[in-house]
Structure 1
Amino acid sequence: MSYNRFAYVYDFLMKDMPYDKWLQMVQDFKESFGIQGKKVLDLGCGTGELTVGLAELGYDVTGVDLSDDMLMVAREKADKAGVRIQLFQQDMSKIEELGTYDIITIFCDSLCYLTDEEDIKNTFEKANEHLKPGGLLLFDVHSIYKMSQIFMNQTFSLNEEEVSYIWSCFPGEKPNSVEHDLTFFVQEDDSDLYSRFDEFHTQRTYPIHQLENWLREAGFAIKEIQGDFSGSRYTDESERIFFINQKI
């Protein structure tokens, strides 16, 4: 999934996301599992908000994303923050020769952009290959509840001075998938004119038991499954499901 022009409005649209909670989660699980090293691989890093945030906390961070545009924004962000990160354009299900890490993260529902079951399995296997013994794989996905009850057949809109959008959600072709049809109107620099562009994205999630099976097959012990940012077990109405896994 390549984001094209979407990369340049992504941070504006995601400005209210609780990035600090994701960062704290990494800190908390590093401590609770006694992880001594500070090498982190951030898969699906996007514009690098979490990648840069981790670097600012003293982690040795490598970011991977499929979108060159996203990585360009991430590089600009790292340079502005004065932190050093490595960035690679690779498919998370096919990562190669990136070394080994203490922690691998796949946050902000990035895994949901893999709509093929084999790609999910391959991502777990590749993550295992790139983790040190006892290393952690931390990721989150949209819940089936969120896909079916919050996204499905809904239209969302935003009307602000710099960016406006119309975002419509439709059932996807595969089980538990949603197609996002987005139309953006972005203000041109120093102008009253707006340019329009369209994006089409597909996301898919999977039953929790299915993800558990694939994780075990890939060589992980599933330590916790949490709902939202509660720090507690998920419920039937949790919107985001967190998996905390350790390489066996």
Structure 2
Amino acid sequence: MDINLSEYEDPILYDLENPSSSELPFLLDLAEKYVKKGEKILELGCGTGRITIPMAEAGYSLIAVDIHEEMLNRAKEKMSPCHSIDWHLQDCRQLHLDFMTGHVFQHFLTNEDQDQALQSVYRCLKDHGVFVFDTHFPSFEEHALSDHETFWRTVIDAQGRTVQIYIKEQYDPIKQIEHCKVIRRFFDAGRFVEEKESFIDLRYTYPQEMKHLLDKNRFKLLRICDGWKDRPMTQYTESMVVICKKENNNV
């Protein structure tokens, strides 16, 4: 499966549209609990370093992996020489080298892709190493998605233009895949300039399905949290944060 990367073609605009690092406190707490001195954190789908760089600023050493070269280049531009980060341009399903943020897991659209990704992570982790990732919770509302434009947000791009962003979504309940079209309309001093479209497909995985997937790939599920907060899921959960542990071959 080839991942559609059109949504990530403009890393500077991506940073402007995604300024939040709300998951950082949760991840720092986990790192303090599980990462020992001298150990490195592996971040998969690091993008422009939105989480990677603050983790390095907190004193951790990281190996950061992404499939998109321009996103990695943007991250490198933002980092300080004192940061301890090793950047790698690789497909997360085929790592050759413990957390995954930004709903990266949803880019693996088939069962085979999910297995390959988890097996790659398994090979990279030490025995009983902890793996953390987030993915949208497939709520009833997702099933009711219709193909109409929904306004997301407005940002000012690097050229000073106003960018109005809309999203059109359709959910395929058979394949559990949401097909998204992102529409950006650019205005300069109030005058419409251009419109750009990008596309992204996202796989939804149910909690019990997730547990089976982890068991199959030799991970022990520790807990699934309601977003980047250490609290149980509810029927109103929007984002599942999965915390699991690699089990060694003898377990």
CA contact (8 A) 1:224 1:244 kept: yes
Which residue of structure 1 aligns with residue 159 of structure 2?
Answer: none
Alpha carbon RMSD of aligned pairs, Å?
A: 2.6
Equivalent runs, 1:176-215 vs 2, <5 Å: 176-186=176-186, 194-215=193-214
Paired amino acid for 2:139: Y
| Structure that is richer in helix per residue | 1
Q: 1:180 offset after TM fit, Å? A: 1.0
CA contact (8 A) 2:8 2:14 kept: no
Residues in 1 aligned to 2:82 and 2:191: alpha-carbon distance in whole angstroms? 34
Residues in 2 aligned to 1:93 and 1:240: alpha-carbon distance in whole angstroms? 22
Which residue of structure 2 aligns with residue 131 of structure 1?
Answer: 125
Residues in 2 aligned to 1:151 and 1:85: alpha-carbon distance in whole angstroms? 39
Which residue of structure 2 aligns with residue 247 of structure 1?
Answer: 246
Which residue of structure 1 aligns with residue 13 of structure 2?
Answer: 9
Greater CA drift, 172-181 or 214-223: 172-181
Q: 1:236 offset after TM fit, Å? A: 1.3
What SS class does the counterpart of residue 15 from structure 2 fall into?
Answer: helix
Distance 1:38 1:178, change over 3 A: same
Residues in 2 aligned to 1:150 and 1:83: alpha-carbon distance in whole angstroms? 44
Q: 1:36 offset after TM fit, Å? A: 4.5
Residues in 1 aligned to 2:29 and 2:123: alpha-carbon distance in whole angstroms? 23
Distance 1:129 1:160, change over 3 A: closer
Paired amino acid for 2:246: K
Distance 1:241 1:123, change over 3 A: same
Residues in 2 aligned to 1:11 and 1:86: alpha-carbon distance in whole angstroms? 20
Which residue of structure 2 aligns with residue 25 of structure 1?
Answer: 26
Instruction: Identify which of 126, 134, 142 aligns with 2:136.
Output: 142
- Normalising by structure 2, report the TM-score: 0.83
Residues in 2 aligned to 1:154 and 1:47: alpha-carbon distance in whole angstroms? 30
Distance 1:9 1:63, change over 3 A: same
Distance 1:228 1:82, change over 3 A: same
CA contact (8 A) 1:227 1:233 kept: yes
What SS class does the counterpart of residue 226 from structure 1 fall into?
Answer: strand
Which residue of structure 1 aligns with residue 218 of structure 2?
Answer: 219
Residues in 2 aligned to 1:163 and 1:48: alpha-carbon distance in whole angstroms? 23
Matching of residue 105 in structure 1 with residue 99 in structure 2: yes
Q: 1:169 offset after TM fit, Å? A: 1.0
Which residue of structure 2 aligns with residue 101 of structure 1?
Answer: none
Paired amino acid for 1:164: Q
Distance 1:147 1:46, change over 3 A: farther
What SS class does the counterpart of residue 234 from structure 1 fall into?
Answer: coil
Residues in 1 aligned to 2:118 and 2:209: alpha-carbon distance in whole angstroms? 13
Distance 1:50 1:234, change over 3 A: same
Equivalent runs, 1:40-79 vs 2, <5 Å: 40-79=41-80
| % identical aligned pairs | 20
Greater CA drift, 42-51 or 145-154: 145-154
Q: 1:242 offset after TM fit, Å? A: 0.9
Residues in 1 aligned to 2:145 and 2:47: alpha-carbon distance in whole angstroms? 22
Number of residue pairs matched by the alignment: 237
Residues in 1 aligned to 2:227 and 2:58: alpha-carbon distance in whole angstroms? 23
